Copies of this chain bind each other. A is one copy, B any other.
Amino acid sequence: MAGSEVLDRARAIVGPSHVLSEPADTAPFLADWRGRYRGEALGVVRPADAAQVAALVRLCAETGTPLIPQGGNTGVVGGAIPDASGRSLVLCLSRLNRIRAVDPIGDSLTVEAGCTLAAVQAAAEEAGRLFPMSLGSEGSCQIGGTIATNAGGTAVLRYGPMRDLVLGLEVVLPDGTLLNGLRALRKDNTGYALKHLFIGAEGTLGIVTAATLKLFPRPRSTATAFLALPSLEAALRVFARLRGALGDRVTTAEILSDSQLAAVLAHVPGTVRPLAAAMPWYLLAEVTDPMAGLDLAAALEDLLAEGLEDGSVADATVARSHAQAEALWKLRHSVSEANRKSGIVIGHDTAVPVARIPDFVARATAAVEALRPDARVVAVGHIGDGNIHLVVILPDSARTESQPLEATAHAVSAAVHRVAIDLDGTISAEHGIGQSVRDALAAYKGPAEMALMRGIKRLFDPQGIMNPGKVVLTGEP
């Protein structure tokens, strides 16, 4: 079928005004926000509800048209960007933005895929509850995308990644069947965990149209601290002390290298060095409790005093006001902006077992510096998750070298990934696979797991129309 006929039939499903095909209209959907990935498409379709999504999927199944689901387009692995063929439809979920139900007794809410994360947080707050996922992009990323990528963020330590927050899913399968699995159940042992296959599958097995999510009590006591640390080994000791004493009250433990803090202070207006002396590492720790009136700041200060005494902490400050806490958080939230302004960014999303973080950072940094003595390596991440983003910053001159920049980036990333794998780590902790690490996956997974993944893809999507080219290719046996 001609592309124009596919578009005509899509218009009949969603209404003419919700099919975009003019280049000026479709452009924002065909590239990611960092400008790394760019594709072409027949058009962009904007269904109003799950029934329209199902009708569009049936149209695509019938016509063999690849379908690329897209939420807020805030991803960093190219998972929501079509290929260059121009044969695909981009499925924009933004209009599925209803909060369908809030159940404060069962501590759950049901929302459509196109709700922004911020809208979900707000709906939870309105019900006196917390939806705990917290991401830099929360104002624009959509809940369907956070499910499709099993998003992480700064509260994973306490609440887990998206996978742990999903009770049930409504999914349109690749044949257009609408699967209603919006079960608000805390326990359900009825066979194979289909829900978990869709979570993190980046739309390659079906399209999430709605989800029932867990809610939590709101924190009513909070304390935020910023620590300067002599080493990553010391950071692990401090983290273990905090977690051992305070348990899951420790909701955030974000580590920044001195080079990362320096980049933030140099490039982001309004940021202020929180501690006098520079040290190799810093930790932003937040502690929360649903009980009101607890003096968590005092509890933190006691624990930090022990650290100052035994040398694991070099210096520390505990925020004494909301404004002070915000200023500390601003340092963390500014890292992407700072790194972009520092040069050419080659980012990574590795995780290793927590005890191996020091080893990973030392070996990966050495590997990068051996390849590129002109690189600046900064590190920022989630120490309790073992998830350290090693960010390699090259001078702008790297663009004009004889070796194309893409090849340089590939070599750098291969070196970082090799170290992570050697230390029993992963090459994608929270960003997903998309296009960016798809071809690196086999080295991590091994042939048996890859074969099962390809088998699952073929089972769910025998025509290969659901976000093809992402996560796993089915061409191989």
The chain A residues found within 8 Å of chain B, CB to CB, are 103-108, 149-150, 152, 156, 160-161, 163-164, 173, 177, 179-181, 183-194, 196-197, 199-201, 205, 216-217, 236, 240, 243-248, 289-291, 299, 349, 351-355, 382, 384-387, 424-433, 437, 441, 444-446, 448-449, 452-453, 455-457, 459-460, 471-472
Contact = CB atoms under 8 A, between A and B. Distances in A.
Contact of A456 (B192, B291, B453, B457): B192
Given A188-B429, A291-B299, 9 more contacts: A105-B354, A152-B187, A156-B186, A184-B353, A187-B382, A190-B426, A191-B433, A217-B247, A247-B289
A173 B448 contact: yes
A384 B107 CA distance: 10
Of A164, A190, A248, A446, chain B has the most CB atoms within 10 Å of the CB of A190
Contacts of A349: 189
A189 B149 contact: yes
Contacts of A444: 190
A221 to B, nearest CB: 11
A194 B449 CA distance: 8
A331 to B, nearest CB: 22
Nearest to A288: B247
Nearest to A193: B196
Given A426-B188, A441-B191, A245 B290 contact: yes
Contacts of A188: 351, 426, 428-429
A460 B449 contact: no
A107 B425 CA distance: 16
A445 to B, nearest CB: 7
B190 A355 contact: no
B200 A217 contact: no
Contacts of A453: 191-192, 194
Given A187-B351, A353-B103, A200 B192 contact: yes
A197 B197 contact: yes
A160 B160 CA distance: 12
Nearest to A349: B189
Given A445-B190, A453-B191, A185 B106 contact: no
A169 to B, nearest CB: 11
B186 A354 contact: yes
B186 A355 contact: no
A42 B223 CA distance: 63
A190 B354 contact: no
B352 A185 contact: yes
A149 B188 CA distance: 11
B105 A183 contact: no
A170 to B, nearest CB: 12
Contact of A433 (B190, B384, B433): B190
Given A173-B448, A240-B105, A353-B108, A191 B184 contact: no
A107 B354 contact: yes
A452 B194 contact: yes
A246 B387 contact: no
Contact of A431 (B189, B236, B351, B446): B189
Nearest to A248: B248
The 9 closest A-B pairs by CB, nearest first: A196-B196, A247-B290, A105-B355, A187-B429, A106-B354, A184-B353, A186-B385, A193-B196, A188-B426
Contacts of A424: 183-185
A105 B359 CA distance: 14
A106 to B, nearest CB: 4
A347 B179 CA distance: 30
A291 B187 contact: no
Contacts of A244: 217, 290
A200 B191 contact: yes
A197 B200 contact: no
